[in-house]
A = this chain, B = another copy of it.
Amino acid sequence: MKSGSPTIRDVAAMAGVSVATVSKYVNGTQRFSPAVEAKLKDAVESLGYRSNPLARSMITGRTRTIGVAILDITNPHFTKVVKGANRVALQHDYTLLLVDTEENPARERSVIEALAPRVDGLIISSRASEEMAQWMLELDKPVVMLRSVRGLAIPNVGFDNRLATYMLARHLLNLGHRHIAYLGFGAASINDERIAGARAALAEAGLALDVHDTHAPTAQAGEQACSRVMLGPDRPQAVICYNDLIALGFMKEAKSLGFRLPQDVSVAGIDNALYGEYVEPSLTTIDAQSETMGELAMQKLIDALAGKEDAGNIVLEPRLIARDSTVARA
């Protein structure tokens, strides 16, 4: 017995046909005479032959693999994006080559460039500005970005960040809050859009937004930022957080500091992470449709690979999920 798996040649020899015939049989490219087909079937089965995907990829130039580069798989937004992308990929017989860049912009480019030649296309999430993302155009592979881009000719699936915070701010204004703070994550390129949205809503009411920042989009960062926001000279009545994780950390720490939630301060997040439903008070948030984002991005890429024309960029719409962490001002 030869070492390793049987090759197409072994099958050809056993069936008494040429390798070309075996190839066509395995790929279902052609019809065969019953006699040959039977021999082929026998040989393939008794040998347990499976074609080598690497060799095939080298010729066809297709790997049936999609590269997915995200910033942090433990961030529930990205967890759901990957979930959605994986689902659609599997349906179309694609597999994910996943890279978690760990919010490390320095590593990002080299890792993605190393990924590109091994995949048919890429789905990328990056904190980089559009100028800093120019190089992605040179990857020579179809790319879908997980956020709206204007200046660059890269297909994308984005989210209306401006509207999201606008809606949250309006929600809070409707509840009677006047002094509203935004606890953001400045390193994210979309942070400015979120600030703009909240600011616009407040401006309409003749109010100003109080902007704070965290060093990471995590619960821990939210905890750390809390005292700065709540014990400063000008305590807000309500706080809009960059995401649900920050909101969760913020709420926990606020309670530790002796504030009653939501009476003393209303808090809202963005993402609709599962856990917002299980904390107390349950978290008012914006559904960012993360899983749908992953699905649509993957579908867009697969369509592009199938030669379909790009149906245009997508902007997912925010949906407010009002829960108990935001209440009318006493």
Of the candidates B5, B87, B98, B277, the one whose C-beta lies within 8 Å of that of A252 is B277
The distance from the CB of A223 to the nearest CB of chain B, in whole angstroms, is 9
The distance from the CB of A279 to the nearest CB of chain B, in whole angstroms, is 5
> Is A287 an interface position by the 8 A CB rule?
no
Q: Which of A23-31, A54-62, A172-180, A301-309 contacts B (4 or more CB under 8 A)?
A: A54-62
Interface residues on A, range: 35 or more
The distance from the CB of A5 to the nearest CB of chain B, in whole angstroms, is 7
Docked CA distance A249–B279 (Å): 11
A98–B100 touching, CB < 8 Å: no
Contacts of A79 in B (CB 8 A): 73-74, 79
B117–A53 touching, CB < 8 Å: yes
Q: Which of A35-43, A89-97, A152-160, A188-196 contacts B (4 or more CB under 8 A)?
A: A89-97
> Is A8 an interface position by the 8 A CB rule?
no
B53–A118 touching, CB < 8 Å: yes
Contacts of A96 in B (CB 8 A): 97-99
Contacts of A145 in B (CB 8 A): none
> Is A163 an interface position by the 8 A CB rule?
no
> Is A300 an interface position by the 8 A CB rule?
no
A-B complex: 5 closest residue pairs judged by Cβ atoms? A275-B275, A280-B280, A98-B98, A86-B100, A248-B278
